[in-house]
Amino acid sequence: MVDFSNAEDRKRFRHTASHIMAQAVKRLWPETKLAIGPAIDEGFYYDFDRDEAFSEADLKKIEDEMKKIVKENLPLEYYELPREEARKFMEEKGEIYKVQLIDDLPDEATISFYKQGDFTDLCKGPHVETTGEIKAFKLTSIAGAYWRGDSNNKMLQRIYGTAFPDKGQLKEYLDRLEEAKKRDHNKLGRELEYFTTVDYIGQGLPIILPKGSKTIQVMQRWIEDLEASRGCELTMTPYFAKRDLYKISGHWDHYRDGMFVMGDKADQDDETKECYALRPMTCPFQYQVFLNRQRSYRDLPMRLTETSKLFRNEDSGEMHGLIRVRQFTISEGHYILRPDQLEAEFKECLDLAKYVLDTVGLLEDCTFRFSQWDPANPKNKYEGTKEQWEKAQETMGKILDDLGVEYSIGIDEAAFYGPKLDIQYKNVFGKEDTLVTIQIDMLLAQKYGMEYVDADGTKKNPYIIHRTSLGCYERTLAYLIEKYAGWLPVWMAYEQARILPISDSHIDYAYEVKDKLTKMGFRVEVDDRSEKIGKKIREANKDKIQYMLVVGDQEAADKTVAVRAHFEGDMGTMPVDDFAAKLKEIVDNKVRHDV
């Protein structure tokens, strides 16, 4: 029996559903090649290599075939084969991707399969007992996916689906999915004109339109002032640098594939030629502020912050609206400090991040991940010795436990120079990304020759905390659009109120109100079109304007406005100054409403 409240049970249930889907595809189109088909948080997927593109009509055919397989109630049988037999078996079936997977398994690996009727798949499991247990399922979408996530490999077709023990739970999920589609920032953000993309500019390079730019500007100014109030100092550093800077830190060796390197590729490793690259992070640049002169222990902590433009060469298959882009803006900071200051400064960074995320309304949906190194990482991702990593992770673990942080552990999720606390957030479709990160670094100061003179007169290397407060502004904007379904909190909204004159004879007064409110610092507009007031109200609602100020003969005579609020309802007629006082209180307190 499956306990669907248990994460592992959900995983094996949906893993079986992915096998049923693959079996159905092979029955319908036997020439299709199979790649991989795991369970994921909200369901499952399978990657297929097929000459003809799958259509929405094909999904219905696959679902119908899956129902037959479920009705057949086929047992799932586990068995193992020696490597050569396993390889030959898949070669004979023409499953080229399965052969690659077998070839890449370590020598000591157990090579296992699951068989259900006429279908066999390379798989370590686990699964449910029979196909008949998968009572309710739905195929939800089709997407492209590079084999192994590498854009140098062939583009495959990925079919997503989900499965539940009964139709009731499936319906609840599908209803939530429909709501998610309405909130999807990649759709809603474009409709509300927060951003757009242009094919001939490039993937992952969004154009932030005036609405989005104003919201980001408001958040950016708030963050910079907030950081300054907490003892941070602002820097401005170059957007690119010579290869030499990145070689010192290790970014050149560990992160080059994720960087935009200028010039000919042949020159990248030619030390006789200058080579430049756009920065994927700001830390090596900010270290130069510390290195500008000799430092004393009295100079520490040094809290350096910057609103940074960063550039990362993300795989095209990873691009999604504003959540994953190739150029982005980040509230970045590096705290350079003595070892005895580490815990207090880490606590300060965490307190800042939690305050910021709580203020914008995202904290309640965040989770915390203690991202650690994997000493067995085959790509040799990490700098430093085993002893240095154990010390850094032990120190960070103690700090997190002392602060009472509830966290999961992410193995092989650390930065190449140190462990980190990642504050994670999921978009409306359940895809998780890092929103804010706080990292402990005990290595890079030594690499850059960063030293301070301690109280005893000896020179020592400082520790460094790498941190963000709000994280990436573009990603945050995406999450806010989804969180509030477009009804952003008034304090950060592009348009805080819209004035609606009932007829053309009231336009002059409408602009009089606008001028007064604008001089008070509010962002207001006038809908001066020759349209009926009902249409103006409907369009203001469609544009997600929280406050509508209707003005007619009586309001013009009395110097008042009739206030209609999206969340509070009809607030009645009041003097302009009274409305301004209410709006100021809402903005100053950064009031938000659940949507």
Is residue 457 helix, strand or coil?
Answer: coil
Residue 589: pLDDT band with limits 50, 70, 90: very high
Would you call 241 exposed, middle or buried from its count of C-beta atoms within 10 A (0-12, 13-18, 19+)? middle
Residue 263: pLDDT band with limits 50, 70, 90: confident
Least confident of 113-127, 220-234, 284-298, 408-422: 408-422
Q: Tell me the percentage of the chain whose pLDDT exceeds 90.
A: 86
The residue length of the chain stands at 595
**pLDDT value for 379:** 60
Q: Which CATH number is correct for 195-239+279-483, 3.20.20.70, 3.30.70.1150, 3.30.420.40, 3.30.930.10?
A: 3.30.930.10
Least confident of 44-53, 292-301, 313-322, 543-552: 313-322
**pLDDT value for 269:** 78
**pLDDT greater at residue 148 or residue 575:** 575
46-77, pLDDT tens digit by residue?
999 999 999 999 999 999 999 999 999 999 99
Q: Tell me the percentage of the chain whose pLDDT exceeds 70.
A: 99
Residue 378: pLDDT band with limits 50, 70, 90: low
**pLDDT value for 141:** 93
Nearest to 212 by CA among 194, 190, 198: 194
Q: Is the pLDDT of residue 557 over 80?
A: yes
Query: Rounded distance, CA 497 to CA 377, Å?
Result: 54
Give the CA count within 13 Å in the CB-facing half-sphere of 391: 11
In one-letter notation, the amino acid at residue 275 is: C
- Please give the angle made by the CA atoms of 303, 587 and 558, to the nearest 5 degrees: 155
**pLDDT value for 41:** 85
**pLDDT value for 384:** 83
179-206, pLDDT tens digit by residue?
999 999 999 999 999 999 999 999 999 9
Residue 395: pLDDT band with limits 50, 70, 90: very high
**In the chain, domain spans:** 7-176, 195-239+279-483, 490-588
CB 507 within 8 A of CB 205: no
Residue 472's contacts (CB-CB under 8 Å, 6 or more residues apart) are 328, 329, 330, 435
Query: Rounded distance, CA 547 to CA 325, Å?
Result: 33
**pLDDT value for 382:** 83
Give alpha helix (H) positions in 386-434: 386-402
Average pLDDT over residues 232-258: 92
The torsion angles phi and psi of 185, rounded to 5 degrees, stand at -60, -25
**pLDDT greater at residue 310 or residue 265:** 310
Q: What is the DSSP string of 508-552?
A: HHHHHHHHHHHHTT--EEE--SS--HHHHHHHHHHTT-SEEEEE-
Q: Is the pLDDT of residue 587 over 80?
A: yes
Residue 328: pLDDT band with limits 50, 70, 90: very high
CB 54 within 8 A of CB 105: no
Decide yes or no: CATH 3.30.43.10 for domain 7-176: no
End-to-end CA distance of the chain: 37
CATH architecture of 490-588: 3-Layer(aba) Sandwich (3.40)
Structure letter (DSSP) for residue 414:
S
pTM of the model: 0.87
**pLDDT greater at residue 576 or residue 317:** 576
For residue 220, give both structure tokens.
């950016």
Average pLDDT over residues 477-485: 97
Crossing angle of helices 7-28 and 56-72, in 10° steps, is 110
In one-letter notation, the amino acid at residue 295 is: R
Average pLDDT over residues 72-97: 96
450-474, pLDDT tens digit by residue?
999 999 999 999 999 999 999 899 9
Least confident of 95-109, 214-228, 373-387, 478-492: 373-387
> Do 195-239+279-483 and 490-588 come out as alike in CATH topology?
no
Residue 152: pLDDT band with limits 50, 70, 90: confident
Query: Rounded distance, CA 388 to CA 443, Å?
Result: 8
Average pLDDT over residues 397-423: 92
Average pLDDT over residues 408-434: 91
